[in-house]
Chains A and B, each alone.
Chain A
Amino acid sequence: MEPAKCIAGIKHRGWYRGQIAHTAVIPARPPEPVRMKVHPCIQRHLNARGIVLYRHQAEAIAALRAGNDVIITTPTASGKTLAFNIPIFERLIVDEAATALYIYPLKALANDQLDKLRVLEQACGLTLHPATYDGDTPAGARGRIKAQARIILTNPHALHYYLPWHHQWARFFRNLKFIVIDEAHTYRGVFGANVALLLRRLYRILGHYGANPQIVLSSASIANPADYARALTGRDAVAVTQSGAGHGTRTIVFWDGLTDPDTPISLQAARVLVHLTEEKVQTICFTRSRAQAELIARRASELGGDGILPYRAGYLPHERREIEHGLRAGDITGVVSTSALEAGIDIGGLDAAILVGFPGSALSFWQQAGRAGRGAAPALLVFMPYEDPLDRYLLRHPDHLMGNRRERIVIRPDNPRLVAGHVACAAAELPVTAGEISPVDAEILPALTKTGLLFSTPRGYIYRGLTRAHALFSLTDLAGETVKLMCDGTVLETMDPLRARRDAYPGAVLLHRGDTYVIESLDLDAGTAHARREDVNYYTKALVTSTVEILSATARRTAGKFAAVRGRVRVREEFVGYQSIRAGRTVAVNPLDLPPHTYETDGMWIIFPPAIPGIAREDLLGGLHGAEHALIAMAPLSVLCDRDDLGGVSTTLHPATQGPTIILYDELDGGAGLTDVIFAALERVAAAAYRLVAGCPCDNGCPSCIYSPRCGSRNRPLDKGATIRVLELLAAGGGD
């Protein structure tokens, strides 16, 4: 595959309208193989498969052999798994009782890794009885696994439920030498904090059995690996960040779809995809949404693209397996996927990747980009930004992506609501003594005792709730809950309740395997949604309005003309209705009858003086509102989050602040520390937002700058001029 030839071919196509705005080339980097002595049986396995070890793998192996915790953040396909499996297997060979626990965010990933571990086990002539242990494990196999397995693969949800049964795991825990936390970057936000606290509970139990294993974290590339490892595990880890695997030349095409405004981006993507597959370039196309993946796959097949399939997490296991196998075998020349294929699942390397829409973070961007490229062969990447503000910003500032920047991951394991739940669970696992609780949380034990959940005994606090602690405090609010989407008595797919609210409300249009379905009913209590198959030529979007109440302030700073405050807020979300959109125009707005959802979370708010120079009184709200949208749009450049993780409201007079106010909050029950990062980096986020809006060629605001698709008041009022002035003021900070 020659990228230059591919690009020239695209330019010769009749439908090409000059979309290629910019082409960047990352030169090839030679691999840095190293010679390292590994256990002979592993060496034989490596030789048989022609695998050489690279510098970063050697670093990780050496650090693990020396007894350290390690976090590996090298790119996809750089051999991270092997880097920790080698020292783990070496240990399991020498110490015949030693065990290892592998934690994956998803059952599917655990199953995939189990196969890899079995290959290594066989190659080494070992009998380790590796097994997955989760909700799918048959009851008949559980006792045997707990008695025999020396490697167990599970997920955090399952582990949460198994900890109270620790005595059944006594052999496994007593001999535990390694905990592997794979895809660690997925543990962020509230879920990340929950996993961090789950690990603290696991340590306690391991301590009870006299075990103190090493921890290995494997993660996508992030800005703060060592800090993140410490926040998640509470321990220091050696960070291995620079890949020695090398790679071929990477050509990155920045595709400006707006130069052909009459052709939807999905059709442009389908055309490029079909073009590449016709040139025998095996291509993966990533989309941000399930619906978009289905749509592009359908358009590609309408264009005559052969062997192009959609792929996403909602598919049933055997459907997914077929596609994964087809990709590895090369039978499938093109696949359109959500982030489900971004990492973890082994599909081998492809020739090219098309990214339709910025996937939300540089982390994901490079993970998806990393799917293209086999060894030293060149790879082609086509980035097709949406009209979204962040996307347009990255198109206009390609250096941001090329500059190798990464986001920070934040987690807040000190969230008192979560700590209380985990303390209650811990007390159901082993009695908790006051000395085990950090002084800042000292009031939690008496508080839980007062509510009747704990009882103080001479041996410590014990759990005495009427309901099982582990059910009362599930690991996420969604743990174990799924909504089944039914059509004609069969399950089309399953989704979590949050997604069901957004995507499967009555009237919503949903695509599944290229077919459109209309949702007839949603019953969140019963966990079912019913759909009918129907061809429609519109799509739908839910409208949500929020009211935010300020509960308490934890930090405040004054800078220039404004004050920024960080604190706690209570949010009430109402699903007011949904829009039906045909060819980009809203053709109908329908009411929705879903129960409102109220939660407490982290927030930050900016209080402005009653009048801002250069902004007419009647434009102020439009300026605040626009600035709110732009700040939220740019936040993902600083902290790993989705635009959907942040919410905001703006008002010219907030009763609690007595002034014009923008409130931003973590759109997650309990909060996740995202607005804390924005509070600290407000000037920087505002500067990027200012460049975005001021640099946008539109006259009065557009979807590329201050319009937000999720705005509950349907982007009214917005005032671009006032927005620029507000952002300018914020960006100047104390300097204005």
Chain B
Amino acid sequence: MADIERIVDRLLAHARRGAPSRHETGTPIGTVRRNNVGTCAAIAGNEVIAITRPAVDTVWPVLFSELRLLFGIGAANAQQLRASGFDSIHSLRDHPRWGHEVRKLLEFWQDPPRVENIHQTMSYWLPASHPLFLMLPALVPPAATCFFDLETLGLFGSPIFLAGIGRANDAGTLHVMQYLARDPGEEPALLHELRHELSTCRFLVTYNGKAFDWTCVRERSAYYALPEPPALLHLDLLPHARRRFRGAFSDVRLETLEQELFGITRIDDLPSAAVPAYYADYLETGAARAITPILNHNRQDVITLAVLYSWLVSNGAG
């Protein structure tokens, strides 16, 4: 046992550096949500920011001009066909070689086209950083797009203790909902609320969420033998940011993009690495002082996601 305690003490001592240490009395945070797997806290907030979404009408021409979505057409074929005047999928409808593929594709997409089916075809043939992916959320109602970010106690396999979901309404207001596990025992309830919240969502927008956030949600749901989270369309902005900003900035962390693109410098923000230590302190003391910076940090991440999304959409394919 001595070995483990030594290892852990060393890790904790390292992680605790810089965390608040003053004990405060517990302050209630948000409202308590009770569901059939337990309780957790919910914190709601509104943020007035302008969210740019592509108009639905602008999506179709771009989508249908992407000949690579047809089975058998690669970059070289597409270029050749375009040079011969075939500039859209529709224009190939009666083509002797590709007409059959066009009919098959349109049949698969259905009429009116289902965004899930379009996304499936795109994911198969196009790189994740293809700008067309940025346009797809236009095909679902604004409130069905969720900007999503998690806070966990570490890497994979660590409990999730905070989930932030931002949804825009038609007026362009971002409504941010946060679910907090006030101790790790509330994680199943948090996952339950999250699943409920996401049941009305169709498009998830994240930053590295394919590799991390969404994988965590799936893994932790399985850990507690909870039902699988819903299958959602997922727009991960990380590959798009990489494509646009690689080499331009020192890195493509969300904080860096905030600063470089929007001139936002977070004041009193907590570095991501300190999040677990602050949460540990919150568990010990119940102090709002320890949890508030995490809530703010997560909230800011969700807001920045929405702002970054708008920026990428407005600044076109680049």
Give bound CA distance, A165 to B7, whole Å: 24
Contact of B159 among A164, A447, A464 (CB under 8 A): A464
Q: When the two chains form their complex, are residues A465 and B11 in contact, meaning their CB atoms are under 8 A apart?
A: yes
Say yes or no: is B222 at the interface (Cβ < 8 Å to chain A).
yes
Q: When the two chains form their complex, are residues B11 and A457 in contact, meaning their CB atoms are under 8 A apart?
A: no
Say yes or no: is A328 at the interface (Cβ < 8 Å to chain B).
no
- Give the size range of A's interface with the partner: 35 or more
How far is the CB of B75 from the nearest CB of chain A, in Å? 21
Which positions in A face B, CB cutoff 8 Å? 164-167, 170, 208, 416-417, 420-421, 424, 428-431, 444, 447-448, 450-453, 455-459, 462-470, 472
Q: When the two chains form their complex, are residues B157 and A470 in contact, meaning their CB atoms are under 8 A apart?
A: yes
List 5 A–B pairs whose Cβ atoms lie within 8 Å, in order of A's numbering: A164-B157, A167-B221, A450-B5, A452-B8, A466-B276
Q: When the two chains form their complex, are residues A455 and B185 in contact, meaning their CB atoms are under 8 A apart?
A: yes
Query: Interface on chain A toward B: helix, strand, loop, or mixed SS?
Result: helix
Q: Mark B6-26, 1 if CB is under 8 A from A, else 0.
A: 011101100100000000000
Query: Interface on chain B toward A: helix, strand, loop, or mixed SS?
Result: helix
Contact of B184 among A416, A420, A451, A455 (CB under 8 A): A455
Nearest residue in B to A472 (C-beta to C-beta)?
Answer: B7
How far is the CB of A369 from the nearest CB of chain B, in Å? 42
Give the B interface residue count (CB, 8 A): 32
Q: When the two chains form their complex, are residues A431 and B154 in contact, meaning their CB atoms are under 8 A apart?
A: no
Q: When the two chains form their complex, are residues B3 and A417 in contact, meaning their CB atoms are under 8 A apart?
A: yes
Which positions in B face A, CB cutoff 8 Å? 1, 3-5, 7-9, 11-12, 15, 38, 153-159, 183-185, 187-188, 218-219, 221-225, 276, 280
Q: Using A451-B9, A464-B153 as known contacts, list a sample of 14 further A-B pairs with CB atoms less than 8 Å apart, ordered by residue number in A.
A: A164-B157, A167-B223, A417-B3, A444-B1, A447-B4, A448-B4, A453-B8, A459-B188, A462-B187, A462-B223, A465-B8, A466-B15, A466-B154, A468-B158
7 closest pairs, A vs B, by CB?
Answer: A167-B222, A457-B185, A451-B8, A455-B184, A466-B154, A428-B157, A451-B5
How far is the CB of B3 from the nearest CB of chain A, in Å? 6
Contact of A452 among B12, B155, B157 (CB under 8 A): B12
How far is the CB of A147 from the nearest CB of chain B, in Å? 15
Q: When the two chains form their complex, are residues B157 and A469 in contact, meaning their CB atoms are under 8 A apart?
A: yes
Which of B4, B153, B159 has the most CB atoms of chain A within a 10 A radius of its CB?
B4
Q: When the two chains form their complex, are residues B4 and A167 in contact, meaning their CB atoms are under 8 A apart?
A: no
Give bound CA distance, A170 to B9, whole Å: 35
Nearest residue in B to A447 (C-beta to C-beta)?
Answer: B1
Q: When the two chains form their complex, are residues A468 and B223 in contact, meaning their CB atoms are under 8 A apart?
A: no
How far is the CB of B211 from the nearest CB of chain A, in Å? 12
Contact of A466 among B153, B188, B218, B222 (CB under 8 A): B153
Q: When the two chains form their complex, are residues B154 and A167 in contact, meaning their CB atoms are under 8 A apart?
A: no
Across-interface contacts of A166 in B (CB, < 8 A): 222
Nearest residue in A to B283 (C-beta to C-beta)?
Answer: A455
Across-interface contacts of B276 in A (CB, < 8 A): 466
Q: When the two chains form their complex, are residues A421 and B15 in contact, meaning their CB atoms are under 8 A apart?
A: no
Across-interface contacts of A462 in B (CB, < 8 A): 159, 184-185, 187, 223
How far is the CB of A643 from the nearest CB of chain B, in Å? 27
How far is the CB of B195 from the nearest CB of chain A, in Å? 15
Across-interface contacts of B223 in A (CB, < 8 A): 167, 429-431, 462
Contact A463:B157 (CB < 8 A) given known A208-B225, A455-B185? yes
Q: When the two chains form their complex, are residues A467 and B154 in contact, meaning their CB atoms are under 8 A apart?
A: yes
Give bound CA distance, A448 to B1, whole Å: 8
Which of B156, B157, B158, B223 has the most CB atoms of chain A within a 10 A radius of its CB?
B157
How far is the CB of A580 from the nearest CB of chain B, in Å? 37
Contact A164:B8 (CB < 8 A) given known A459-B188, A462-B184? no
Across-interface contacts of B219 in A (CB, < 8 A): 164-165, 167
Contact A468:B159 (CB < 8 A) given known A167-B218, A167-B219, A459-B224? no
Across-interface contacts of B224 in A (CB, < 8 A): 431, 459
Nearest residue in B to A419 (C-beta to C-beta)?
Answer: B1
Q: When the two chains form their complex, are residues B4 and A451 in contact, meaning their CB atoms are under 8 A apart?
A: yes
Give bound CA distance, A262 to B77, whole Å: 78
Across-interface contacts of B222 in A (CB, < 8 A): 166-167, 170
How far is the CB of A668 from the nearest CB of chain B, in Å? 15
Q: When the two chains form their complex, are residues A452 and B280 in contact, meaning their CB atoms are under 8 A apart?
A: yes
Contact of B155 among A420, A421, A468 (CB under 8 A): A468
Across-interface contacts of B187 in A (CB, < 8 A): 457, 462
How far is the CB of A469 from the nearest CB of chain B, in Å? 7
Give bound CA distance, A420 to B223, whole Å: 20
Q: When the two chains form their complex, are residues B184 and A466 in contact, meaning their CB atoms are under 8 A apart?
A: no
Q: When the two chains form their complex, are residues A464 and B1 in contact, meaning their CB atoms are under 8 A apart?
A: no
Q: When the two chains form their complex, are residues B1 and A468 in contact, meaning their CB atoms are under 8 A apart?
A: no
How far is the CB of B35 from the nearest CB of chain A, in Å? 13
Across-interface contacts of B159 in A (CB, < 8 A): 455, 462-464
Nearest residue in A to B186 (C-beta to C-beta)?
Answer: A457
How far is the CB of A420 from the nearest CB of chain B, in Å? 5
Contact of A467 among B5, B11, B185, B218 (CB under 8 A): B11
Q: When the two chains form their complex, are residues B157 and A468 in contact, meaning their CB atoms are under 8 A apart?
A: yes
Give bound CA distance, A147 to B183, whole Å: 35
Across-interface contacts of B184 in A (CB, < 8 A): 455, 457, 462, 464
Q: When the two chains form their complex, are residues A458 and B38 in contact, meaning their CB atoms are under 8 A apart?
A: yes
Across-interface contacts of A465 in B (CB, < 8 A): 8, 11, 153-154, 158
How far is the CB of B86 from the nearest CB of chain A, in Å? 32
Across-interface contacts of B5 in A (CB, < 8 A): 447, 450-451
